[in-house]
Amino acid sequence: MDRNEKTKNDVDLIVIGAGAVGENVADYATKRGIRVALVESDLVGGECSYWACMPSKALLRSGQALRAAQRVAGARESVTGQIDPVAVLARRDSFTSHWDDGGQVDWVNGAGIELIRGRARLTGRGRVEVGDRTYCASAVALATGSVPALPEIEGLAGAHPWGTKEATSADHVPPRLIVLGGGVAGTELACAFASLGSQVTLLSRSALLKSEEPFVGELLADSLRETGVDVRIGATPFRVVRGSSGVVSVTLEDGSALEAEELLVATGRRPHTANLGLEELGLETTLEVDDTMLVAGTDWLYAVGDVNGRALLTHQGKYQARAAGEAIAARIKGEPVQVEPWGPHVATADHRAVPHVVFTDPEVASVGLTEERARAERLSVRGVEYDLGAVAGASLHADGYTGRAKFVIDVDRGVLVGATFVGQDVAELLHTATIAIVGEVPIERLWHAVPSYPTISEIWLRLLEEYGRP
């Protein structure tokens, strides 16, 4: 990058997309003293704030709290009422700031970032067109997120199904809801709407949460069924019709048919790269990036967060954003960029330790590699599992606690490379595992990390005992 460009540029860096990721790229780069403009065509804050993480977790939380009380004798007897869907939707609305981005705009302004409203398109090296104006910068970072991928099913688009956006911002609870997709969004929203009183049918081509350890999908399907969700594994929709009464009818490949007031499609997402001008610049729309998020074949274009497809999670995108913001600023200022693993300018954890939580009931929390994945990577590993319900802290936490946990241990290096927990309230267990993996803490040292009694964290001791003292 030519530092002299600074004089003729409007800013040093243009970030396209003001979701959580774009905001963080802009913030970290600004804090390093470079001039940044942030372009947004919709609400500042992006999917996570208004149509994904926050509203979906708000829709789930009241049901979780209610069930938690119902699982403890003594508290259970005092829970006499039902969930109040109107109050849940109102609480969800407060977490999305009623889809008003004023607070986030104030934050952007306060952080010294220039906000440009409009749809951005690349027109050349460091050149970005927004409306009738072209802005120039030394570097451009794409943080345009991802969009839902609609499967090829006859009549589906014409039946106006809900996507995750419509489901998370719904102003009513449909009496019947068919959910297509057994991944994270499908299972979470099936759980949420079932709690709110919908009669939910969940259709999944394969096991639920199929990229997790095999016991995860089984435990989740059992639990969803117990709460009244009709879980159909191996069900493939063939045709969809929304009739004049508004009811959606889904015909499956086996000839059976289902009806519901709404159909939610949650079958995956793809990078949001359409109409960004990439092809015109001779660039691929599948953006390959290095660990500083620099797009392959360029020295000025970066892709951060969902758009690069590395890990479709807010926290991981924000981690990438911190690395990229620092790296971009360093390059613009002519300072050294530290690209060795675990350095300040690279997102090394993307390859080793991506934590994620599925906020279903039971919760699913995992980080690092599954045993199958580790073996595919030719690591010499041993998997150890334990019944979480047999841990004293868990049995106190909820009567009849059901859950399971697993460690994947690299036997050559004697370190943890993967961990999975399934059960009520396991989300908060996850960060310890992330630290053990990122820190490559030797198993023999983990024996000295004593979990408090009686907490669910005693699962650590039980799993180490299963593995055996080194």
Ligand X SMILES: Cc1cc2nc3c(=O)[nH]c(=O)nc-3n(C[C@H](O)[C@H](O)[C@H](O)COP(=O)(O)OP(=O)(O)OC[C@H]3O[C@@H](n4cnc5c(N)ncnc54)[C@H](O)[C@@H]3O)c2cc1C
Q: Which is nearer to ligand X, 153 or 185 (CB)?
A: 185
What's at 230, amino acid-wise?
A: D
- Considering only residues 243-272, where is the footprint of ligand X by CB under 6 A? 272
Rounded distance between C-alpha atoms, residue 403 and residue 365, angstroms: 11
- Per CB under 6 A, the list member of 63, 126, 145, 418 interacting with ligand X is 145
**Minimum CB distance to ligand X, residue 206 (Å):** 19
Residues 179-218, mask of contacts with ligand X (x by CB under 6 A): ------x---------------------------------
**Minimum CB distance to ligand X, residue 268 (Å):** 10
Beta strands in 85-211 (DSSP E): 114-117, 120-124, 127-130, 133-136, 139-142, 146-148, 176-180, 199-204
Binding segment (CB under 6 A) for ligand X, from list 41-49, 230-238, 285-293, 369-377: 41-49
Q: Does 21 bind ligand X (CB under 6 A)?
A: yes
Q: Does 56 bind ligand X (CB under 6 A)?
A: yes
Number of residues that make up the chain: 470
Q: Which is nearer to ligand X, 46 or 418 (CB)?
A: 46
Q: Does 409 bind ligand X (CB under 6 A)?
A: no
Binding segment (CB under 6 A) for ligand X, from list 37-45, 61-69, 208-216, 375-383: 37-45
**Minimum CB distance to ligand X, residue 23 (Å):** 8
Q: Does 16 bind ligand X (CB under 6 A)?
A: yes
Phi/psi-derived region of residue 305, left when phi > 0, alpha when psi is between -120 and 50, beta in every other case: left
Rounded distance between C-alpha atoms, residue 450 and residue 457, angstroms: 9
How many residues in the shown chain lie near ligand X by CB under 6 A?
Answer: 35
Q: Which is nearer to ligand X, 169 or 199 (CB)?
A: 169
- Considering only residues 147-166, where is the footprint of ligand X by CB under 6 A? 164
Q: What is the dihedral of CA 278, 282, 284, 290, to 10 degrees?
A: -90
Which residue's structure tokens are 């279903």? 360
- Per CB under 6 A, the list member of 27, 30, 35, 46 interacting with ligand X is 46
Q: Does 367 bind ligand X (CB under 6 A)?
A: no
- The tokens for 284 are 């691929």
Q: Which is nearer to ligand X, 18 or 113 (CB)?
A: 18
Q: Does 395 bind ligand X (CB under 6 A)?
A: no
Q: Which is nearer to ligand X, 314 or 434 (CB)?
A: 314
Residues 103-132, mask of contacts with ligand X (x by CB under 6 A): ----------------xx------------
- Considering only residues 279-318, where is the footprint of ligand X by CB under 6 A? 305-306, 312-315, 317
Residues contacting residue 218 through CB under 8 Å, at least 6 positions apart: 207
- The tokens for 54 are 């926050």
Cα–Cα distances in angstroms (integers) from residue 133 to residues 114, 121, 143, 281, 316, in the given order: 15, 11, 20, 19, 33
**Minimum CB distance to ligand X, residue 463 (Å):** 25
The burial of 251, by beta-carbon neighbours within 10 Å (0-12 exposed, 13-18 middle, 19 or more buried), is given as: middle
Q: Which is nearer to ligand X, 313 or 417 (CB)?
A: 313
Give the DSSP H or E segment for 381: strand 381-387
Rounded distance between C-alpha atoms, residue 225 and residue 435, angstroms: 34
* Whether the Cβ atoms of residue 317 and residue 17 lie closer than 8 Å to each other: no
Which residue's structure tokens are 């499967």? 151
Binding site for ligand X (CB under 6 A): 16-22, 39-42, 46-48, 52-53, 56-57, 119-120, 143-145, 164, 168, 185, 272, 276, 305-306, 312-315, 317
